């Protein structure tokens, strides 16, 4: 019954998983008078328990991955995740670094990818609008997780994630 | 009959005020701002969310905060004893503070602590305002105060003291350290979610109704003056909110207790000489 | 009937002294019920003041007793090597000698029982009685001989007798004797354990209370010399505006007994002494002599005296509440809040308007009940859970919901509508507000009252929040030896008096309903609201809701949060004591000049 109101009041939780702050500044720009995200009812709550949209920036550094998952689990359903910026989608320029996990989709399910370095406010607004469409479809049930990646292989102590992506229909060997 | 209707719709009125305020604030910042009914959209959305709780005590105390505040507003509309209403309002604040302390969360504790401190700052002033009305009209009853003519001129200093309280009570800059959205993420309200956050959210609207109902008491039976006061103060509070930065809790107490208490004392002393 | 209330406890004291354990317990409960019934009967049947004279033979007996008590104090001063006690005892002996050498011409009755006295009877016998029931079991957990244990109960009954007498007497000489006897009782009770801290605190209580004795004796001398009487009623009836010295001296005695700042140390000493029972007895009943005496003196005060006592009382209310914010010892917090409320009661009594006196009486009754209840819980915490500090009571609700319920009700009844103490405070603000129009100085009383009541609320709820807080230690499995570990069985002797006092609180709400102290709606609505809390707990099981952890920036480590305190620099304490002393000096000087 209240489904249509989800669209009208998206509250955002922004988490910086090791970003260079470029995307974060763009988020602030989007909230500021020129783009004025608040006209869609967006509030930057900063509190997982009251938010609907999980807006992540940064390539997920090794130290931040547990916090990322913890924050995700503390958000009540229905919720959507937006990966903002190239790093967040794939690891971007930091890909294959020893301390970087190459994108958030190795840990949490992502609904909208917004590429760009840094992603511009227009792109961000587009991403949020797209996310709202997805949010309207979701239910209160907890989402069933599925894996996109295998465990990263390691040779001589060097972790290699490049070929760990699972193909469509392929199952992780460890399952 | 009209009173019962008013009481039932009090949260809606508060919600409209909150929505209008958000628009007004956006306009002051040269933004478009959310629609007027935005708070209600938020309210409906929260109904549709999964509910998380930490522990039952926390949730129940939060609900009690809302119910007590509604009772306070109802008592105000019915025109009961002002002093009693101030103490009942203290009860509602105590409920939310207890809720804040009942979870093992840093932000909730800090928020509840600041809430306590701000209660420390505004409760004595509220009592003095009530005493000011008592000295003017010879009664604490709100119905009597509403029947008599406007008392803003003899109580002008008390009115100024009360103006200082409004940002503190509604958690607006420069006295919004109790909520401090960017530092302690909302303070006491942080651990509520879903339907249970709804109660806290609506309680915020009721707080608006409570404060502005207190404000229009200064206008007595003069409805025009009451409207002017309400609109003027509403604008002023939002202007100040937009134009100032947050100050430390310590300074909040010093400023509010120092200035408002002095103003209130001077006014009461003046009244006793007249 | 008053004779029953005075003599029966003496008899009971002797009976309990020699009876074996089981018989003693049964007898004591029967005695307490009997005394409560008699005091209720007195309160219901008394419509006009009762006056009576004691037989002439009693007077030499009283003089003998007086001399013995003073000599005992002197002896204790010598034995315990306390020069202050010795000095004050000697001074009192000299003054008492002077009093005996003078004779007063105007004679009146020795016994005068007014409605205030019957209220005090209720308080002494019911609240004091329930404390005796509590003590029955408590004293068994101490390692003392049978006789010493029985003697403890006997002292308590003796104390009831003395208290019943003190509120019935009209003769200042007898009042002095009884005042000294209560001092003796508190000295014996505080020193009961006989260890270092107890003895030290008991000596402090002794010399401070002796100051009150000196003040009464001085008041007696001036009263005899100027007004030619030793009776309260004649003194108050014949009082002259220009010679108020006896009244002020008696008021100072009240300040001493009520442990007002700067005489607060002795009551706090009694709290910290390791016997919970004496703490209960002191704060719930004995100190109530102070507002009682003030109520008796109120009609004789002129504007200046009444104003300065009101200001001083409200100042004490404010500053004791402020000082309590920095404490973490449960009984000390209760002690300070007792001092604060006594200050308020004395202020109201001195104000002397009908509303103020009504507010004072309401506060008097309900404060005794609530504080009795709270101190009983403090005793239970100490005996069953070995908890003394507020910081350790983390998450008590998981271990003993009953005790938490009582503590919550106790604190709530002191601050929130619709309980009696709240109504008292409410009426206090109303009556002081009514005075401001007359003299703007009452503004300060109002400010002190407003600030103090907010501080006290802050204090109570600071303690209360700890009860509901999550018990991190127990959850992590590394519970310290001081924290409660499991659901504890509490003795019936402990819970019975608690339930009795709870019943009194509820009865109090009914009475305030009957007497229309507040609108009916103003009583029913908050009662419903407060009643809703347990109801919501019972009905809302939150089965569907998901439990999550607290938001901690995504960190998984659990943290332990402790209590917050307010830092009170030592100089604040000094300033407060100095201000209060200065106020007393100004009061004295103002009256003498």
In terms of DSSP bridges, do strands A112-114 and B52-53 run parallel, antiparallel, or are they unpaired?
Answer: unpaired
C207-211 long-range contacts, CB within 8 A, separation 24+: C207/C82, C207/C84, C207/C85, C207/C88, C208/C256, C208/C263, C208/C265, C208/C266, C209/C179, C209/C182, C209/C183, C209/C256, C209/C257, C209/C266, C210/C73, C210/C85, C210/C88, C210/C89, C210/C92, C210/C183, C211/C88, C211/C256, C211/C263
Looking at residue C277, its pLDDT comes to 62
- For chain C, the structural domain boundaries read 60-107+171-257
Residue range(s) occupied by CATH 3.40.50.12280 in chain A: 3-142
A41–B191 CB contact, under 8 Å? no
Interface check for A70 against chain C (CB to CB < 8 A): the answer is yes
| C546 vs A contacts (CB less than 8 Å) | 76
Handedness of CA C192, C196, C200, C201 (dihedral sign): negative
A130 CB burial (10 A radius; 0-12, 13-18, 19+): middle
* A77 at interface of C, judged by CB pairs closer than 8 A: no
Question: How many other C-beta atoms lie within 10 A of the C-beta of residue B183?
Answer: 14
CB contact under 8 A, C450 and B128: yes
Tell whether B24 lies on the interface with A, counting CB pairs under 8 A.
no
Q: Which two tokens stand for residue C573?
A: 């304490």
pLDDT for B259 beyond 50: yes
Is pLDDT at C471 greater than 70 in this prediction? no
Residue C546 host element (H or E): strand C546-547
Contacts of C548 in chain A (CB under 8 A): 49, 73-74
Question: H-helix or E-strand containing C190?
Answer: helix C172-190
Q: What percent of chain C has pLDDT over 90?
A: 0
Question: B191: which chain A residues are within 8 Å (Cβ-Cβ)?
Answer: 49
Q: What pLDDT was estimated at residue A170?
A: 66
Does the beta-carbon distance from B94 to C454 stay under 8 Å? no
> Within 10 A of A119 (CB to CB), how many other CB atoms are there?
27
Give me chain C's average pLDDT, please: 79
As a whole number of angstroms, the distance between CA C200 and CA C196 comes to 6
Are B192 and A50 in contact (CB < 8 Å)? Answer: yes
* pLDDT higher than threshold 50 for residue C297: yes
Residues of C within 8 A of B262 (CB-CB) are none
Residue for token pair 């309210």: B43
Residues B50, A41: C-beta atoms closer than 8 Å: no
Q: What percent of chain C has pLDDT over 70?
A: 89
Looking at the complex, does the CB of residue C535 fall below 8 Å from at least one CB of chain B? no
Query: How is residue B154 written in tokens?
Result: 């003899």
ipTM of the complex: 0.82
From first to last of the 175 residues of chain A, give the pLDDT tens digit: 677 777 788 888 888 888 888 888 888 888 888 888 888 888 888 888 888 889 888 888 888 888 888 888 888 888 889 988 888 888 888 877 778 888 888 888 888 888 888 888 888 888 888 888 888 887 777 777 677 777 777 777 676 676 777 766 666 555 4
Distance from C-alpha of B38 to C-alpha of B21, rounded to nearest angstrom: 11
CB-based contact A79:A54 (threshold 8 Å): yes
| Chain A contact for C550 (CB, 8 A cutoff) | no
Query: How far lies C141's CA from each of C134, C153, C222, C375, in Å?
Result: 12, 14, 49, 18
d(CA B100, CA B108): 5
Find the closest chain A residue to B28 by CA distance. A33
Distance from CA of C294 to the nearest CA of B (A): 26
Band (pLDDT 50/70/90 cuts) for residue C6 is confident
Q: How many angstroms separate the CA atoms of A60 and A54, rounded? A: 14
pLDDT for C484 equals 46
The DSSP H or E segment spanning C442 is helix C442-468
Q: How far is CA B237 from CA B95, B152, B175, B234, B256, in A?
A: 27, 18, 11, 5, 15
Number of structural domains chain B divides into: 1
In this prediction, residues C222-230 reach a mean pLDDT of 82
Topology at the third CATH level for domain A3-142: Rossmann fold (3.40.50)
- Quick one: which H or E segment has residue C364? helix C354-380
- Min Cα separation B218/chain A (Å): 35
Q: Is the pLDDT of residue C208 over 60?
A: yes
The beta-carbon neighbor of C551 closest among A15, A74, A76 is A74
Distance from CA of C579 to the nearest CA of B (A): 21
Range of the domain at B236: 2-273
Nearest-angstrom CA–CA distance, C84 and A124: 81
**Average pLDDT over every residue of C174-196:** 82
Residue B81 is encoded by which pair of tokens?
A: 């004893």
C-alpha gyration radius of chain A:
16
């Amino acid at each position: 019954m209240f489904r249509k109101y989800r669209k009208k009041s998206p509250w955002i939780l922004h988490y910086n998983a090791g970003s260079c702050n470029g995307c974060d500044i763009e988020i602030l720009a989007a909230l500021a008078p020129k783009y004025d995200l608040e006209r869609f009812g967006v509030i930057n709550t900063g509190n997982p328990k009251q938010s609907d949209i999980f807006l992540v920036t940064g390539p997920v550094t090794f130290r931040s991955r547990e916090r990322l998952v913890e924050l995700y689990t503390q958000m009540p359903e229905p919720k959507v995740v937006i990966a903002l910026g190239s790093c967040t989608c794939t690891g971007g320029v930091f890909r294959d670094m020893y301390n970087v996990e190459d994108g958030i989709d190795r840990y949490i399910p992502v609904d909208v990818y917004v590429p760009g370095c840094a992603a511009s406010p227009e792109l961000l607004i587009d991403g949020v609008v797209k996310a709202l469409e997805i949010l309207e479809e979701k239910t209160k049930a907890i989402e069933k997780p599925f894996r996109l990646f295998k465990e990263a292989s390691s040779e001589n102590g060097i972790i290699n994630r490049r070929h760990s992506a699972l193909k469509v229909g392929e199952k992780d060997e460890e399952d | 009959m009209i009173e019962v209707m008013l009481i039932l719709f009090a949260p809606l009125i508060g919600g409209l005020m909150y929505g209008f305020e958000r628009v007004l604030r956006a306009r002051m910042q040269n933004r478009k701002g959310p629609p007027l009914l935005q708070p209600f959209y938020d309210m409906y959305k929260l109904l549709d969310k999964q509910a998380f709780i930490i522990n039952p005590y926390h949730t129940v105390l939060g609900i009690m905060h809302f119910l007590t505040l509604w009772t306070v507003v109802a008592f105000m509309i019915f025109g009961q004893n002002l002093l009693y209403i101030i103490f009942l309002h203290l009860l509602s604040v105590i409920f939310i503070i207890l809720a804040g302390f009942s979870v093992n969360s840093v932000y909730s504790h800090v928020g509840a602590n600041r809430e306590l401190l701000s209660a420390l700052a505004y409760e004595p002033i509220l009592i003095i305002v009530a005493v000011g009305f008592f000295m003017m009209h010879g009664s604490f009853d709100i119905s009597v105060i509403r029947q008599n003519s406007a008392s803003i001129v003899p109580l002008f200093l008390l009115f100024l003291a009360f103006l200082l309280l409004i940002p503190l009570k509604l958690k607006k800059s420069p006295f919004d350290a109790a909520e401090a959205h960017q530092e302690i993420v909302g303070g006491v309200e942080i651990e509520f979610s879903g339907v249970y956050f709804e109660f806290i959210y609506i309680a915020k609207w009721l707080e608006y109704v409570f404060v502005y109902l207190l404000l229009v008491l200064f206008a007595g039976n003069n409805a025009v003056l009451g409207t002017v006061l309400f609109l003027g103060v509403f604008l002023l509070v939002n202007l100040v909110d937009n134009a100032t930065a947050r100050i430390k809790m310590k300074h909040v107490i010093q400023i509010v207790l120092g200035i408002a208490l002095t103003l209130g004392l001077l006014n009461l002393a003046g009244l006793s000489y007249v | 009937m008053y004779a029953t209330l005075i003599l029966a406890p003496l008899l009971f004291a002797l009976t309990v002294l020699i009876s074996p354990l089981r018989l003693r317990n049964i007898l004591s409960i029967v005695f307490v019920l009997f005394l409560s019934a008699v005091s209720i009967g007195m309160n219901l049947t008394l419509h006009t003041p009762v006056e009576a004279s004691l037989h002439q033979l009693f007077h030499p007996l009283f003089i003998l007793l007086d001399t013995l008590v003073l000599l005992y104090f002197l002896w204790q001063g010598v034995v315990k090597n306390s020069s202050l006690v010795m000095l004050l005892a000697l001074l009192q002996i000299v003054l008492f000698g002077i009093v005996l050498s003078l004779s007063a011409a105007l004679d009146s009755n020795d016994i005068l029982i007014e409605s205030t006295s019957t209220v005090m009877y209720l308080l002494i016998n019911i609240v004091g009685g329930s404390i005796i029931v509590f003590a029955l079991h408590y004293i068994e957990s101490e390692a003392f001989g049978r006789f010493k244990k029985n003697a403890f109960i006997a002292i308590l009954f003796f104390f009831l007798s003395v208290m019943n007498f003190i509120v019935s007497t009209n003769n200042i000489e007898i009042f002095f004797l009884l005042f000294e006897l209560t001092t003796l009782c508190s000295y014996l009770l505080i020193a009961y354990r006989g260890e270092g801290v107890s003895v030290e605190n008991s000596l402090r209580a002794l010399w401070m209370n002796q100051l009150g004795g000196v003040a009464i004796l001085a008041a007696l001398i001036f009263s005899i010399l100027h007004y030619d009487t030793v009776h309260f009623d004649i003194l108050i009836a014949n009082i002259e505006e220009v010679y108020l010295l006896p009244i002020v001296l008696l008021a100072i005695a009240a300040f001493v007994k009520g442990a007002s700042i700067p005489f607060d140390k002795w009551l706090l000493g009694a709290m910290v002494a390791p016997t919970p029972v004496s703490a209960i007895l002191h704060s719930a009943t004995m100190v109530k002599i102070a507002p009682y005496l003030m109520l008796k003196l109120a009609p004789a005060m002129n504007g200046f005296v009444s104003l300065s006592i009101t200001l001083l009382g409200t100042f004490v209310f404010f500053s004791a509440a402020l000082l309590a914010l920095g404490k973490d010892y449960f009984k000390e917090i209760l002690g300070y809040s007792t001092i604060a409320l006594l200050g308020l009661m004395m202020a109201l009594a001195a104000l002397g308007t009908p509303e103020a006196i009504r507010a004072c009486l309401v506060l008097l009754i309900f404060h005794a009940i609530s504080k009795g209840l709270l101190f009983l819980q403090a005793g239970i915490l100490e005996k069953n859970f070995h908890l003394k500090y507020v910081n350790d009571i983390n998450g008590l609700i998981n271990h003993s919901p009953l005790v938490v319920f009582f503590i919550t009700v106790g604190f709530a009844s002191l601050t929130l509508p619709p309980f009696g103490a709240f109504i008292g405070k409410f009426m206090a603000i109303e009556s002081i507000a009514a005075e401001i129009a007359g003299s703007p100085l009452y503004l300060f009383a109002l400010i002190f009252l407003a600030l103090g009541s907010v501080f006290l609320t802050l204090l109570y709820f600071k303690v209360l929040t700890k009860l509901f807080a999550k018990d991190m230690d127990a959850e992590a499995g590394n519970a310290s030896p001081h924290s409660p570990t499991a659901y504890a069985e509490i003795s019936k002797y402990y819970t019975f008096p608690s339930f009795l006092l709870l019943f009194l609180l509820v009865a109090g709400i009914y009475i305030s309903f009957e007497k229309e102290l507040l609108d009916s709606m103003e009583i029913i609505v908050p009662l419903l609201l407060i009643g809703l809390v347990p109801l919501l707990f019972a009905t809302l099981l939150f089965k569907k809701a998901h439990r999550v952890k607290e938001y901690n920036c995504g960190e998984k480590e659990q943290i332990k949060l402790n209590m917050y305190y307010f830092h009170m620099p030592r100089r604040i304490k000094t300033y407060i004591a100095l201000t209060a002393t200065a106020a007393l000096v100004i009061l004295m000087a103002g009256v003498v000049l």
